Structure 1
Amino acid sequence: MSGSQTARPTFNDDLFAAIRRLMAPLRAAPWWLKVTLLYAAARLVSFLILAGAAWHAGASPWGGDRPDYLTFINRWDAGWYERIFNGGYPTSIPRNADGTAQPNQWAFYPLFPLLARGLNSVTGLPWMVAGPLVATVAGFAAALMIYVLFRRFASPTTALWGVAFFAMFPIAPILQVAYAESLSTFLLAAALYLLIRRRYWLAVPVVILLCLSRPAGVPFAAVVGIHLLLRWWRRRSEPFPVREMVSGVVLLVVSGFMAFAWMLVAWWVTGDRSAYTDTETAWRGTHLQLFLPWFNAGVKLVGPLWGPLLPVLLVGLAALYLNSHAVRRIGVDLTVWCGAYLLYLLAVLDPQSSTFRMMLPLFPLALAAAFISTSRAYRWSVLLMFTVLQIVWVVWLWQFTTINTGVSWPP
């Protein structure tokens, strides 16, 4: 046989060639169609994972063995949103005999259940359908908005991979259950996009809605403040017109006010000045303590000697990563947002199993992850890893399994 004879194609070669031919029309498709198909595929994967977990789920406070899909996802915070959907907020804070607040609806912001209620009024769909439907559509809007935002910094292909990482993130099933995360992510992406585009007036109503969906006003106000300071610092080389100064300051003031607006609403309705903060800390069993819970968690994990150093180590690692080349490529504003949000979590969050879900606003880091390498092997490996971690997250946290405290870890 001649050494120059061409090797015959294998079955795998034929298979990959057929796949490439099938995918060829998609390469020329408009960006919104690509994002739509990507998001639909991601939600199908999450549906299969959730449905599979439901098939193996035991009885819980929300239903019996092997609940159907809609029953299975209507638990944890979704149940609180359902109470708001059905009856609104209490006019007084329920309290224990020692005066501490009991868990109640005031810990949950109103925009998401209000949209579900509006859908119910128009279509008659019950909460079990309306809640997940609003969440899934909002997640789709978030995917589209995130692509538009990412295109400010990346090529179409890399931006699409960034959206893929977001849509398949380990806690991505939350985008299709009746939680407010998908809605707040859409509004956050829109607000960041408008800030970067310097459309400050347009950002004002978006920020108002954002702060009525999830508590994001404090870190967003910090980002706006740093953004304006940097523009002022560079005003000689980069014009900063007076009209933009005025609109930027208005956005800063609105963001700062909206950071506390829901607290004021809770105070006004209940007549209890600490209604919101007492409710937020009801699940902890303690009053609000800034930063301290992280050090306490460190002590519980690794002991009193090294425990207090654990949060310091986390801060150091976060600072190093935010200063990495891949993260710097997402731009100053998105990097500052990630840093401000992490600092906010460090200040107010009691670290627990829901911490994973609260990392979703760090979605700009999905683009940084796509910047790390253009290798298809790397990018597909990340998606595969995220899929496996989705299974871990759903099976570990979404199912109800009582632990030694008599309760379960919430997602």
Structure 2
Amino acid sequence: MKITLETQPKDNNSKVNGYLFVILMWLVSRLVIIFAMQVVAPFMHTSPVHPYWQPPYPLDYTRGFFPQAGWELFSHWDGKWYRKIAVEGYSYANDGNQHSIAFYPLFPLISRGLMTFGIPFEVAGTVLNNLTFLGALLLLYYWVKERHGTNVARWATAVMAWCPFSLYGTVIYTEGLFLLLTTAALRAFDNRQYVWAAVCGALASATRATGITLLPTFILVAWQEKKPLSAYIAGLCVPLGLISFSLYCAIAFKDPLAFVHIQKTWAQPSWWYILTDAIAVGRDSLIKVVMVFGGGYMLWYFRHQLSKTAVTYGFCSLLLIIFSGALMSVSRYVYGIVSLSWALGLVFSRHNRWGYAILTWFAISLYAYAFNFSIWNWVA
């Protein structure tokens, strides 16, 4: 009893300090994004930002556009598609044009639910993504802390919060929700909470295509670690979100794979182009190559220190991304693999100077990405 009384305040302080650290990382990094988008971009652009574009315009929204402070700046690119789904529902036709059925349903469905309280979509989508991103950071922090302690947990959290592609945890995209669900599913599976792993896994597969990689992850780890039958059932529950979406497509559009077939209307680079452009030091292509293959190397190097669930999920996700053909946003998809933030946190915990230098570069790039996103420049 004496030991319990003496250690309890320390445990409570540690938990409070953990919460405060995560919230601080989330808040300060989000303020950098907000400052770039809501203050700097409107101040610098008082006339149309793309006067050199000629018809046909890349998107109708970009014609004569100039940024004005407000919620609309968070809804560019995919955000406009999610708005269309939440407000009007899905559309699809096999006519060679782009349609909203390409986007998975959970994020716009929850946004629609928030809109029933009188909240505009731009507010609902932004708040949803930011809060779920904060939840993902908290889950990552405590998952890593359980295995490596506070130092590595802080570095891993800082990596996820400050990576330039964490921009998509603030604007109206699915990154926050997807990271929350996949991290919750993986941590639950590690902790033998198979019902929770099954629920979060099914929801993840209704959020983004790469959510389906939780299926082979759970099955392979269950087999390797000789887990009980409930672990295999958790894996088999993962596709339920995707299957539900497919059933909807079959009923509404007579095509259960409409969300797959529509992908051909989005132009995608090839790996040959990405690799040759990276060799020529094309910045975006070089980032893609480093993130994909550097991420794979980190997973292999730390395979005995990360949890087996995290390693297996990381490799399954990378393989799906590599062979999916959807390569335009590879960097953003790789960022959505939580295992890589954990692995990079391990690197920085051992090499602090490199960690601080790279996080500084992350912060500068995050500001630049946010600014460019707000003026309709493609980021990832």
- TM-score relative to the length of structure 2: 0.81
* Unaligned segments of structure 2, at least 5 residues: 1-12, 51-59, 281-287
AA in 1 matched with 2:155: W
Matched-pair contact (CA < 8 Å) for 1:136–1:176: yes
Calculate percent identity across the aligned residue pairs.
21
Matched, 1:31 2:18: yes
Alignment of 1:31-180 (within 5 A): 31-51=18-38, 52-57=40-45, 58-59=48-49, 61-62=60-61, 64-90=65-91, 93-96=92-95, 100=96, 102-122=97-117, 124-180=118-174
SS at match of 1:322: helix
Matched-pair contact (CA < 8 Å) for 1:84–1:113: yes
Inter-CA distance 337–54: structure 2 relative to 1 (3 Å threshold): farther
Matched-pair contact (CA < 8 Å) for 1:54–1:69: no
C-alpha RMSD of the superposition: 2.8
Matched-pair contact (CA < 8 Å) for 2:105–2:245: no
357-366 vs 129-138, greater mean Cα deviation: 357-366
Instruction: Map Cα deviations across residues 321-378 of structure 1 (whole Å, 9 max, x no partner).
Output: 32214x54222211111111100001113322x2222122223222222222445433
Matched, 1:351 2:339: no
1:387 is displaced (CA, Å) by 0.7
Matched-pair contact (CA < 8 Å) for 2:77–2:376: no
Hey, what's the Cα distance between the residues in 1 that align with 2:209 and 2:15?
40
SS at match of 2:306: coil
Hey, what's the Cα distance between the residues in 2 that align with 1:319 and 1:140?
26
Instruction: Map Cα deviations across residues 354-409 of structure 1 (whole Å, 9 max, x no partner).
Output: 222212222322222222244543332222111122134334555335xxxxxxx4
Inter-CA distance 45–328: structure 2 relative to 1 (3 Å threshold): farther
AA in 1 matched with 2:232: V
AA in 2 matched with 1:383: L
1:113 is displaced (CA, Å) by 1.6
AA in 2 matched with 1:359: V
Match in the other structure for 1:294: 271
Match in the other structure for 2:263: 280
AA in 1 matched with 2:111: A
Hey, what's the Cα distance between the residues in 2 that align with 1:278 and 1:389?
34
Alignment of 1:221-232 (within 5 A): 221-232=215-226
AA in 2 matched with 1:115: I
Hey, what's the Cα distance between the residues in 2 that align with 1:316 and 1:141?
28
* Unaligned segments of structure 1, at least 5 residues: 1-25, 233-239, 286-291, 304-310, 402-408
Hey, what's the Cα distance between the residues in 2 that align with 1:388 and 1:314?
18
Hey, what's the Cα distance between the residues in 1 that align with 2:176 and 2:293?
29
AA in 1 matched with 2:300: N
Inter-CA distance 344–42: structure 2 relative to 1 (3 Å threshold): same
Instruction: Map Cα deviations across residues 282-310 of structure 1 (whole Å, 9 max, x no partner).
Output: 2138xxxxxx932454467669xxxxxxx
Hey, what's the Cα distance between the residues in 2 that align with 1:317 and 1:46?
26
Match in the other structure for 1:253: 236
Hey, what's the Cα distance between the residues in 1 that align with 2:201 and 2:279?
40
Inter-CA distance 111–320: structure 2 relative to 1 (3 Å threshold): closer
Matched, 1:320 2:300: no
Hey, what's the Cα distance between the residues in 2 that align with 1:72 and 1:183?
20
1:315 is displaced (CA, Å) by 7.3
1:59 is displaced (CA, Å) by 4.2
Alignment of 1:390-409 (within 5 A): 390-396=366-372, 399-400=375-376, 409=378
Matched-pair contact (CA < 8 Å) for 1:185–1:360: no
Hey, what's the Cα distance between the residues in 2 that align with 1:107 and 1:38?
33
Matched-pair contact (CA < 8 Å) for 2:210–2:320: no
Q: Give the number of the structure whose alpha-carbon radius of gyration is greater.
A: 1
Inter-CA distance 148–55: structure 2 relative to 1 (3 Å threshold): same
206-215 vs 187-196, greater mean Cα deviation: 206-215
SS at match of 1:216: helix
Alignment of 1:258-269 (within 5 A): 258-269=241-252
Hey, what's the Cα distance between the residues in 2 that align with 1:367 and 1:312?
19
Paired residues in the alignment total: 346
Hey, what's the Cα distance between the residues in 1 that align with 2:68 and 2:188?
42
Hey, what's the Cα distance between the residues in 2 that align with 1:265 and 1:215?
16
Inter-CA distance 319–205: structure 2 relative to 1 (3 Å threshold): closer
Inter-CA distance 113–315: structure 2 relative to 1 (3 Å threshold): closer
